[in-house]
Amino acid sequence: MKLPIKKRFFDQIKSGKKDLEWRDAHITFICEETREELRMDITGAIVTEKEKYERWDIPDMSEEDFKKMFTDKYVIGFRLVKPEVKQ
């Protein structure tokens, strides 16, 4: 995951003075094929070791592709909900 950050906060993280980062709780997904965008709110998140990730989440993916999907030791999962429409 790559996130832009202001230099002062980057320097705080780099020096070990900051170990918690806050962001808006949404993700905008962009379809690779159509470029369609979909914004979803995040209501929860969990971090777990890659080996503990539940394989049944994507049963139609080959075992080889599944093994390539994540490169880090840890993975993060987000609970997604559609944003409320403001009127």
pLDDT tens, position by position, 5-38:
999 999 999 999 999 999 999 999 999 999 999 9
Q: Is residue 22 part of a domain?
A: no
Q: Is residue 64 part of a domain?
A: yes
Q: Is the pLDDT of residue 87 over 70?
A: no
CA end-to-end span of the chain, whole Å? 33
Q: Is residue 24 part of a domain?
A: no
**Number of domains the chain contains:** 1
Rounded Cα distance between 57 and 22, Å, is: 27
Which among 24, 32, 34, 19 has a CA at the least distance from the CA of 4?
24
Report pLDDT for 35. Answer: 96
Q: Is the pLDDT of residue 55 over 70?
A: no
Q: Is residue 10 part of a domain?
A: no
Q: Which residue has the higher pLDDT, 59 or 77?
A: 77
Question: Are the C-beta atoms of 27 and 39 separated by less than 8 Å?
Answer: yes
Report pLDDT for 61. Answer: 82
Residue 5 makes CB contacts below 8 A (sequence gap 6+) with 13, 21
Range of the domain at 70: 41-87
Q: Is residue 33 part of a domain?
A: no
